[in-house]
Structure 1
Amino acid sequence: MLALLVALDSHAAERQQPVELIADGDFHATLLSPWRYRRVSSNFGDRSDSPTGSSLLLRSAPAPDDPTWAWGIRQLLQGSIEEKDVIVFRAWMRSQDRVRVLVVMEDSKEPYRKELRRLLRLSPEWKEYTLVLKASRAFAKGDAQLNIQLGLDRGTAEIATVRLENYSRDPHPVPRENVDPFGGEANPGDWRPAALSRIERIRKGELNVRVLDRRGKPVPGASVELKQLRHRFHFGTAVVARRLLGSDPDSVRYRAEIERLFNTIVFENEMKWERASPAQLAEVQQAVAWARKRGFDIRGHTLVWGDYAHSPGVRGLSKEQGRQRVEQRVQGAVAAMKGQVYIWDVVNEAVGSTELWEDLGWSLFPETFRIARRADPAAQLCYNEANLANQSLGERPLAVATERVRALIASGAPLDVIGDQAHMSLPLTPIRSVLSIWDGLASFQRPLEVTEFDVAVEDDLLHASYVRDFLTAAFSHPALQGFTLWGFWEGQHWLATKGGAMFRRDWSKRPAQDAYEQLVLGAWWSREHRSTAADGVARMRVFYGTHELVVVHGRARERRVVTLEPGKDGTFEFRL
Structure 2
Amino acid sequence: GLPLLANPPEWRLGGPDAASAKLEHVPADGPGFETAWRITTTATTSAENRIVVTAVNAIPIAGGDALLLRFWARTLETQAADGRGRLRFSKQAAFAAPAFTGRPAEGWKLMVSTVPARLSFAAGQHTFTLAVGGTAPQTLEVGGFEFLNYRRTLQTHQLPYACATYEGRAPEAAWRARAEADIEKYRKANLAVQVVDSSGAPVAGVPVRVKMLAHDFEWGTAAGEPRINGASNPDNDRYRESLLAMFNHATLDNALKWPNWEAAGGRQRALSAVDWLISRGLSVRGHAVHWPSWTNSPARIRTEYESKLASLGSAEADRWLREQCETRVRDAVSALRGRIHEWDLVNEPVGNRDFMRILGDSVMDDWFRIARETDPEALFFINENGVEQDGNAKTQSFFEIVRDLLARGAPVGGVGIQAHVGAISIPSYLRALDRFASLGLPITITEFDMVTPDARLQAEFTRDFLTATFSHHAVKGFLMWGFWDNNHWLHDAPLYYRDWTLKPSGQVWSDLIYRQWWTDEERLSDAGGAVAVRGFLGRYEVSAGGVAVPVLLKHEGAEVKLVVGGPAN
Does TM-score exceed 0.5, indicating one fold?
Answer: yes
Percentage identity across aligned positions? 30
Q: Which residues in structure 2 correspond to 1:208-223 (within 5 Å)?
A: 208-223=192-207
2:542 equivalent to 1:542: no
Structure-1 residue corresponding to 2:341: 342
Cα deviation 1:136-172 (Å, max 9, x = unaligned): 4322333222334554454555667655443323359
Cα distance change of structure 1 residues 406 and 127 upon mapping to structure 2, 3 Å threshold: closer
Unaligned runs of 5+ in 1: 1-15, 28-33
Contact map agreement 1:92 1:126 (CA 8 A) in 2? no
2:475 equivalent to 1:480: yes
Structure-1 residue corresponding to 2:210: 226
2:536 equivalent to 1:570: no
> In structure 1, how many angstroms separate the alpha carbons of the residues matched to 2:33 and 2:223?
54
Structure-2 residue corresponding to 1:367: 366
1:284 offset after TM fit, Å? 2.4
1:538 offset after TM fit, Å? 1.9
Cα distance change of structure 1 residues 125 and 402 upon mapping to structure 2, 3 Å threshold: closer
2:174 equivalent to 1:190: yes
2:504 equivalent to 1:532: no
> In structure 2, how many angstroms separate the alpha carbons of the residues matched to 1:20 and 1:80?
8
Moved more, 157-166 or 235-244: 157-166
Cα deviation 1:309-345 (Å, max 9, x = unaligned): 2221321421111111011111111100010012111
1:349 offset after TM fit, Å? 0.6
For 2:444, which of 449, 455, 458 is the aligned residue? 449
Cα distance change of structure 1 residues 500 and 244 upon mapping to structure 2, 3 Å threshold: closer
Amino acid corresponding to residue 261 of structure 1 in structure 2? M
Cα deviation 1:455-504 (Å, max 9, x = unaligned): 112211111101111111111111111111111112211121xx333111
Amino acid corresponding to residue 369 of structure 1 in structure 2? F
Amino acid corresponding to residue 104 of structure 1 in structure 2? L
Structure-2 residue corresponding to 1:10: none
Cα distance change of structure 1 residues 165 and 527 upon mapping to structure 2, 3 Å threshold: closer
2:510 equivalent to 1:513: no
Cα distance change of structure 1 residues 564 and 91 upon mapping to structure 2, 3 Å threshold: closer
Cα distance change of structure 1 residues 125 and 161 upon mapping to structure 2, 3 Å threshold: same
Cα deviation 1:265-298 (Å, max 9, x = unaligned): 1111111111013522222222222222222111
Contact map agreement 1:204 1:544 (CA 8 A) in 2? yes
Cα deviation 1:529-550 (Å, max 9, x = unaligned): 1222233222211111111122
For 1:250, which of 229, 235, 239 is the aligned residue? 235
Cα distance change of structure 1 residues 529 and 77 upon mapping to structure 2, 3 Å threshold: same
> In structure 1, how many angstroms separate the alpha carbons of the residues matched to 2:143 and 2:449?
35
Contact map agreement 1:305 1:311 (CA 8 A) in 2? yes
Q: Which residues in structure 2 correspond to 1:35-46 (within 5 Å)?
A: 35=12, 38-39=18-19, 40-41=21-22
Structure-2 residue corresponding to 1:314: 301
For 1:131, which of 107, 112, 120 is the aligned residue? 112
Cα distance change of structure 1 residues 249 and 82 upon mapping to structure 2, 3 Å threshold: same
**RMSD (CA atoms):** 3.1
For 2:406, which of 404, 409, 415 is the aligned residue? 409
Structure-1 residue corresponding to 2:276: 290
Q: Which residues in structure 2 correspond to 1:51-70 (within 5 Å)?
A: 55=35, 58=38, 60-65=40-45, 67-70=47-50
Query: What SS is found at the alignment partner of 1:310?
Result: coil
For 1:87, which of 57, 61, 67 is the aligned residue? 67
TM-score, length-normalised on structure 1?
0.85
TM-score, length-normalised on structure 2?
0.85
Cα distance change of structure 1 residues 112 and 571 upon mapping to structure 2, 3 Å threshold: same
Structure-2 residue corresponding to 1:467: 462
Contact map agreement 1:22 1:163 (CA 8 A) in 2? no
1:371 offset after TM fit, Å? 0.9
Unaligned runs of 5+ in 2: 306-316
Contact map agreement 1:132 1:175 (CA 8 A) in 2? no
Ranked by relative contact order (alpha carbons within 8 Å, sequence separation 6 or more), the top structure is 2
Cα distance change of structure 1 residues 170 and 408 upon mapping to structure 2, 3 Å threshold: farther
> In structure 1, how many angstroms separate the alpha carbons of the residues matched to 2:435 and 2:76?
32
Query: What SS is found at the alignment partner of 1:535?
Result: coil
Query: What SS is found at the alignment partner of 2:295?
Result: helix
Cα distance change of structure 1 residues 59 and 537 upon mapping to structure 2, 3 Å threshold: closer
Contact map agreement 1:36 1:75 (CA 8 A) in 2? no
Contact map agreement 1:232 1:544 (CA 8 A) in 2? yes
Cα distance change of structure 1 residues 570 and 82 upon mapping to structure 2, 3 Å threshold: farther
> In structure 1, how many angstroms separate the alpha carbons of the residues matched to 2:347 and 2:46?
21
Moved more, 122-131 or 398-407: 122-131
Cα distance change of structure 1 residues 249 and 167 upon mapping to structure 2, 3 Å threshold: closer
Cα distance change of structure 1 residues 572 and 453 upon mapping to structure 2, 3 Å threshold: farther
> In structure 2, how many angstroms separate the alpha carbons of the residues matched to 1:502 and 1:74?
33
Structure-1 residue corresponding to 2:127: 145
Amino acid corresponding to residue 340 of structure 2 in structure 1? V
